[in-house]
Structure 1
Amino acid sequence: MIPRDLTFVLGGARSGKSAHAEQLAAGSALPVTYIATARVTGDAEFSARIAHHRERRPAHWQLLEADADLAGAVSNADAPGHCTLIDCLTLWLATLLCPAESDGEPLADYHARVDAFEAALANARGKIIVVSNEIGLGVVPLGAATRLYVDELGRLNQRIAALSTQATMMVAGLPLALKSAGAA
């Protein structure tokens, strides 16, 4: 069996995590599929953020826009000799916990979707790079919905970090190695 090649890049907002992940993907010299998890809305500022990410990516990278079925997107993109970059878990989890078409209730099957995503990563045959925010460094937030989100993202990040072969924390544009290939 080919050993898993899963790199986890996390950090705060504007820490440089996406740019670093993109550099890793470009440096792999493999064909790249970029899986975007952002839900396009009518928010002009957020649309500008998405446009900035699009402009920064090489035009020859394949793009998949994932919905709640991130596991399916990973399975469709994954192949030996291929790099898949997922940006980011933070927005994907928001889609699961705060779906646009709901009355504020999480998707009933969000735990199963997280389990399926983890399984897709565990079974990946190509190089996978996953980006996520680290939002658990502050105070306990007010409001049950926000606490649920912070708690679930923390749990998700822990699961992906445990599965990863490499993990990097971005701070002020600087990569800090948390886990190196071969380390448990």
Structure 2
Amino acid sequence: MATASLTLILGGARSGKSRHGEGLIEALPGPWTYIATAQAWDDEMRTRIAEHRARRSPDWLTVDAPLALAAAIAATPPGRPILVDCLTLWLTNVMLAEQDTQAGCADLLRACAGRAGPIVLVASEVGLGIVPENALARRFRDEAGRLHQRLAAQADRVVFMVAGLPMQVK
């Protein structure tokens, strides 16, 4: 990852996105910052969060940022490698909080562009399935797709994960 300062990792559920992102960051000198966007709304999510935390070494500093993602990126010391996991949950949180998604995405893009140091963004690709049946789900799919396109254009590297295998897209 020496030349790529912004990496976007996309893929389906349980495709190995997070583990691949962690590996990219851990190949760099620590300490590392893990910006987590998940909220533990139920036992299943609490278990997923615990699994993610358990596999990370103590060299990781975890910052919880379910909504204020751009601010968390900006507050991370310059040069420190960052993993954001995941944009899909962050966008869900923003939409459910009825915040301005356009402004939030613009803030995120600015924070990434202004970052002095490597950053890896993990996101679920949600545009490969059937058209969702309800308006909120369709809006989410569209917002995520637009965000991914804008980040991919800005990224130095884009990786698509399939069955634990990284496919270099850009």
TM surpasses 0.5 = yes
Give the deviation of 1:57 after TM superposition.
1.0
Distance (Å, rounded) in 1 between the aligned partners of 2:102 and 2:87: 14
Distance (Å, rounded) in 2 between the aligned partners of 1:110 and 1:15: 26
The alignment of Structure 1 onto Structure 2 pairs a total of residues equal to 168
* Residue aligned with 2:34, SS: strand
Distance 1:4 1:124, change over 3 A: farther
Task: Pick from 128, 138, 147 the counterpart of residue 129 of structure 2.
Answer: 138
* Residue aligned with 2:63, SS: strand
* Correspondence for 2:155: 164
Give the deviation of 1:64 after TM superposition.
0.5
* Correspondence for 1:53: 52
* Correspondence for 1:6: 6
Counterpart amino acid of 1:111?
Q
Counterpart amino acid of 1:89?
L
Counterpart amino acid of 2:55?
R
**Bigger CA radius of gyration:** 1
Distance (Å, rounded) in 1 between the aligned partners of 2:71 and 2:48: 25
1:70 aligned onto 2:69: yes
CA contact (8 A) 2:4 2:157 kept: no
Gaps of 5+ in 1: 100-105, 180-184
In the TM superposition, what whole-angstrom CA distance separates every residue of 1:121-158 from its partner, at most 9, and x where no partner exists?
Answer: 01111110000000100111100000000100111111
* Residue aligned with 1:152, SS: helix
Runs (4+) of structure 1 exceeding 2 A deviation are none
* Correspondence for 2:28: 28
Counterpart amino acid of 2:14?
R
Task: Pick from 85, 88, 91 the counterpart of residue 90 of structure 1.
Answer: 88
RMSD of the alignment, in Å? 1.2
Give the deviation of 1:58 after TM superposition.
1.2
1:155 aligned onto 2:146: yes
CA contact (8 A) 1:37 1:88 kept: yes
CA contact (8 A) 2:39 2:45 kept: no
CA contact (8 A) 1:78 1:124 kept: no
Counterpart amino acid of 2:104?
R
CA contact (8 A) 2:88 2:124 kept: yes
Relative to the length of structure 2, the TM-score reads 0.95
Counterpart amino acid of 1:18?
S
* Correspondence for 2:16: 16
Distance 1:37 1:125, change over 3 A: same
* Residue aligned with 1:64, SS: strand
Give the deviation of 1:98 after TM superposition.
1.2
Gaps of 5+ in 2: none
* Percent identity of equivalent pairs: 44
